[in-house]
Amino acid sequence: MIIFVTDIQDRLLIPAMDNFIVSARKYRPATFDMVVGQDTITTTLKNAIRNNFLAQAYLFCGPRGVGKTTCARIFARTINCASPGPDGEACDKCESCSSFNSQASFNIHELDAASNNSVDDIRNLTDQVRIPPQVGKFSVYIIDEVHMLSAQAFNAFLKTLEEPPSHAIFILATTEKHKIIPTILSRCQIFDFNRINVDDIVQRLSWVAGNEGVKAEQEALHVIANKADGAMRDALSIFDQIVSFSGKNITYADVIANLNVLDYEYYFRITSAAIDGDVTSVLLTYNEILNKGFDGYNFMAGLNNHLRDLLVSRDEATIKLLETSPSIRQRYREQAVRAPLSFIYDSLDVGSQCMLNFRSSKNQRLHVELALLRMCKLSEEKAEAEPKKKAERQPEPAEPEIKLSSPSPTPSATAIPQTGPAAGSAKSVPLAEDGKKVSIKNIISGAGQPENIVSEPVPDTSPSAETRQFTPEELKEAWNLFAAEVKEASPRIAVTLSAVSPVLLPDWIIVLKLDNSTLKETFDQNFRARLENHLRLSLHNSSVKLQTTVEATERGEILYSSEQKFNHLASKNPALKDLKKTFNLDFD
């Protein structure tokens, strides 16, 4: 007995501890105006209550922690309020509101379908529906996780849902709407709850921190909001966890340490080093990340998200998609200026491929390191490609001489003498009227040629001009040499020149016989002047003149279009026409 009395006295000396209520319950919204991020839904429900447009069944669906069950309870409380306010909110003073606040309301019934999903549970519910409410107008039945009901339970519930008593209103809540049978969906007003955006969560957390006397950095609250992934309940739970860890002062460092979140600084460092091509810094930073216990896959996911944020930071129209604090957003803007757009695109592609093959890699660390090395090489490859592109745009000095003339020549349309390997003749680089160089390749091919500049053959008037005798063999050799020169730019012209033999007439007139007028027109426009000047230079004869005619060669007609090819084959095999007609075929 003495031990017993002593034990009681010892217990009485222990100070009583206050019961702690988690923030998700303590700050659960009690009115529609307190619900975060679902303004459209709450406005619709308040208007329905104000105008007495109440449906027999509602379906609240959406991700976890966005306010489905909370809105169902607020809705049930408000429609039974004896004197709701003009804004559609409950008065919080009448008998119905008081019984709801004390959790003693007989008009609001909640059923957890996850654990009560059998036919018998639904039958008990349908029997209970017949009982009218004792206080208030409606009996509200909130069925949470309704998608967990069995198929038989859904069928048993269907008739009651279709024709319920006038005093019964059903509110179904679920995170997986696709698992509910269509016959149930067709009898409900459906409200899709959205993920709560980061800014709304941060604003709510700041309000909760102020009520609790907690000082919190904005960057820290943004990390909590991002970690919650759009769920207000998860954000408040994480907030309680951080308060337990750091006390009344929540810092960014405390949050990333407690939640095992990689610091923004690492992504900025790696991206900056990759832009500069600093392989050493990238590998050392990644090694530091691994030493802190972070997984390579999660690191690459974060890096890809960082690159995505850089991309949206390049434009003021898309920067609103960046869900970070103002200070971090400014850093993204600064780095986005340094990062070329091509680097961001290519790095995102490299990072995505790395994540796709990460799980199947035998050496996952090396797999990520190789992806980082490829990112470092992107800027170097771009720097090497720029001089090549500039060199390709420069006119080649060894082009044949072409005189550029215009309907109204001006003093600015001149040519700058150039030296070249061709003997006995000076080369020239043409100038347009604005004084800029014109690419001879583009002029020959007809691309990019100024409208007032045309190419035409001009006799050689230099002191070395001559009229030298040449043999047909020398003509054929010079002819084939030109065909080889144009083979890469125009294979069709090269094949045509190689297949035909030029005809030499008196007065140094050379005739080229072409197969059709289309080919003749193309050749005259783009290649006749060039070939004529080539022959004059190669044969040392300034009197050479090239003429083109249209005449079918020994090879016969050349088939160019699909229809011509088909007709040619059908003339040899008439069954092709029947095949085309039977299957209703057409030409490409």
Q: What pLDDT is stored for residue 407 in this prediction?
A: 44
The answer to whether residue 480 sits within a structural domain is yes
- Is the model's pLDDT at 74 over the cut of 80? yes
How much is the pTM?
0.58
- Tokens 């407690």 sit at which residue? 258
The enclosing domain of 31 has a CATH number of 3.40.50.300
Residue 560 has a pLDDT of 55
- Choose one of 358, 390, 422: the last residue of a domain: 390
Is the Cβ–Cβ distance between 34 and 42 less than 8 Å? Answer: no
Top-confidence range, 50-64, 77-91, 568-582? 50-64
DSSP-assigned beta bridge partners for residue 190: 59
User: Distance between CA 542 and CA 556 in Å, rounded?
Assistant: 34
Q: Same structural domain for residues 270 and 219?
A: no
175, 311: one domain: no
Q: Among 192, 210, 238, which residue terminates a domain?
A: 192
Q: Where are the beta strands (DSSP E) in 100-151?
A: 108-112, 139-144
Cα–Cα distance measured from residue 352 to residue 176, given in angstroms and rounded to the nearest whole number: 29
Mean pLDDT, the chain, rounded, equals 79
Q: What is the CATH number of the domain that holds 245?
A: 1.10.8.60
Same domain, 385 and 423: no
Q: What are phi and psi of 403, to 5 degrees?
A: -95, 130
Specify whether 50 is located in the same domain as 164. yes
Measured at the CA of 581, the angle between CA 575 and CA 587, to 5 degrees, comes to 95
Q: Are 23 and 240 in contact (CB under 8 A)?
A: yes
Quick: pLDDT tens for 432-474: 444 444 444 444 444 444 333 334 444 444 444 567 788 888 8
Please, which residues have CB within 8 angstroms of residue 181's CB and are 6 or more apart in sequence?
151, 154
Give residue 323's domain range: 264-390
Q: Using one digit for the tens of pLDDT, what is the confidence trace for 356-398?
A: 999 888 999 999 999 999 999 887 766 666 666 555 555 555 4
For residue 558, name the pLDDT band (cuts at 50, 70, 90).
Answer: low
Q: How many domains does the chain have?
A: 5
Tokens 């030499």 sit on residue: 504
Residue 419: pLDDT over 50: no
- The partner residues of 427 in beta bridges, in order of sequence, read 418
Q: Are residues 181 and 49 in the same domain?
A: yes
Task: Report the 10 Å Cβ neighbour count for 36.
Answer: 19
CB burial of residue 419 (10 Å; 0-12, 13-18, 19+): exposed
Torsion of CA 63, 67, 71, 72, to 10 degrees: 50
Mean per-residue pLDDT, 414-419? 40
Q: What is the CATH number of the domain that holds 520?
A: 3.30.300.180
Does one domain contain both 47 and 68? yes
Sequence-ordered list of residues with C-beta below 8 angstroms from that of 558, at least 6 positions apart, any chain: 515, 516
Is residue 29 domain-shared with residue 156, that is, in the same domain? yes
Q: Which residue has the higher pLDDT, 336 or 525?
A: 336
Hey, is 446 helix, strand or coil? coil
**pLDDT tens profile 305-324:** 999 999 999 888 888 888 88
330 and 426 in a single domain? The answer is no
For residue 172, what are the contacts with CB-CB under 8 A and spacing of at least 6?
57, 58, 59, 60, 143, 146, 180, 184, 188
Distances from the Cα of 209 to the Cαs of 29, 223, 351, in angstroms?
A: 16, 15, 38
Q: In this prediction, what percent of the chain has a pLDDT beyond 70?
A: 80
pLDDT at 372: 93
